[in-house]
Chain A
Amino acid sequence: MAYYSTSQFKNGLKLMLDGNPCSIINNEIRKPGKGQASNRVKLKDLITGKTLEKTFKSGESLEGADVMELDMQYLYNDGSEWNFMDPSTFDQYVINDNNMDDVRGYLVEQDMCIVTLWNDNPISVTPPNHVILEVVDTDPGLKGDTAGTGGKPATMNTGVVVQVPLFIAIGEQVKVDTRTNEYAGRS
């Protein structure tokens, strides 16, 4: 794998740090009046999801990480494994249920999502920004309230709980923003 020097650092570059693939989310060059330049870098560990702050000496280099982000279709899960397919090659990829904590509630069968591969192994899934989910449980709707001023929790068909307006009833399809877990309108 190629090595990248600090002068090649930019947002989105994938690097190996302490054995884990990381993605640069912010790169700030700092040159003190009386000292050497350095790069203050914020990185996201793609395995743990944690954000790290590191400073690199100008000229230091790090090994690139073989990370690819591919559009894939979510096929199904059997309770322990989640199955995805790359529609351009029909290759199928499997992710263990343990690694699906943050996204489990937003994946609907047949929907497209982004699967991140490291050394050809899937390590994470990013759902679309908005998904259509069905309300399977919530308090009865209030007929008069159409302004949507109040709110109530509603359980979706994927298990995730989203705050919805009072007028939403069981069986309705709603649009949910997967980045904020917020109701984004009726479908």
Chain B
Amino acid sequence: MTVSLNSHIRKKANILKKIRLFFDAQGLLEVQTPSLLNTPTTDVYIDSVSAHVNQDIEPKTQYLHTSPELEMKKLLSQGSGDIYQICQVYRDNEFGEQNFNEFTMLEYYRLGFDTHQLMDDITSLINVLGVKGEMVKLSYAQAFDQFANIDILNTNFDDLKIVAKTHGLSTDFNWIEDLQIFLFVHLIEPAIKKIPICFIYDYPADQSALAKTEGRVAYRFELYLLGVEVANGYNELQNAQAYQQIFERENAKRKQLGKTFSEPDQDFLKQLENSLPQCSGVAIGIERLTSQIIKSD
């Protein structure tokens, strides 16, 4: 084995060990949930990898999980308490230098936490893992105001297209959230490239995903390390009805984009008749995190 490969696998093993120690010390329970599922994700821009099973008995299609989120929420609704999981996840149609069809995800949930408490907890965790440097927290609106002079929460779709046009960018978008994300990539990400630890929080409600919203904002955050997106967290929606609405909205968008879609996970919706306890959760990409830790060594 080469020295560099040997050193890399040792570093990664060490990081995983430290993550487990960090959570054990705080009383979180490590869980494993199924990765072979009956329903694909409804997420508009994430595609499940299909798996064809039981070819010799009764052929059917299953789907590799793109994240353990829904399966872990089933446990939370059954009263599991604080839980974490480290697992491989799979996504189809991924490309680019930072995107792969398989990667390692750390997903964890803290009961009673709001997004700010969770961001503080993540900061402690990544400090323990060796991520150093200044931590900056900016709301989505502050970031757009500071780096692009745009009042992002109060700019409607038509006006935002005019902004894109003045920057010489495409205005061909179906939904305002896609244009917001596009402008974030073009205007904000280059501006936060030098910040070691940067949390962006309180996303526009149009980008709520599975986070709670209040007025124009969703209680959602992302973590960027030197401009690389590493984590995505929510103050989680709690009841089945709220999830059903989101799943239907996402499926309608997939349909409009000509993508495959299927009935949302009924088992999940049924389990959530016991509402989720109030909690915040986050998904962290372990390979991206590891490469930032190795870089700062």
Binding site for B on A (CB under 8 A): 18, 28-38, 40, 53-57, 60
Contacts and interface: CB of A to CB of B under 8 A. Distances in A.
Contacts of B94: 31
Contacts of A38: 182, 185-186
B209 A54 contact: no
Contacts of A57: 170, 172-173, 182
A29 B93 CA distance: 13
B221 to A, nearest CB: 12
Interface of B: 43, 45-46, 94-99, 168-170, 172-173, 177-178, 181-182, 184-186, 189-190, 207, 209, 222, 229, 232, 283
Name, among A37, A55, A60, the residue most crowded by chain B CB atoms within 10 Å (CB to CB): A55
B182 A34 contact: no
A32 B178 contact: no
Given A29-B99, A31-B45, A38-B182, 18 more contacts: A18-B168, A30-B96, A30-B98, A31-B99, A32-B181, A33-B283, A34-B45, A34-B46, A35-B178, A35-B182, A37-B96, A40-B190, A53-B190, A55-B185, A57-B170, A57-B182, A60-B170, A60-B172
B185 A40 contact: yes
A55 B45 contact: no
Contacts of B190: 40, 53
Given A34-B209, A37-B95, A54 B185 contact: no
Nearest to A56: B170
Contact of A55 (B95, B186, B207): B186
The 3 closest A-B pairs by CB, nearest first: A29-B96, A35-B181, A55-B186
Contacts of A36: 45, 178, 181-182
B220 to A, nearest CB: 9
22 contacts: A28-B96, A29-B96, A29-B97, A30-B98, A31-B94, A31-B95, A31-B99, A32-B45, A33-B283, A34-B43, A34-B45, A34-B46, A35-B177, A36-B181, A37-B96, A40-B185, A54-B168, A54-B186, A55-B169, A55-B186, A57-B182, A60-B170
A40 B186 contact: yes
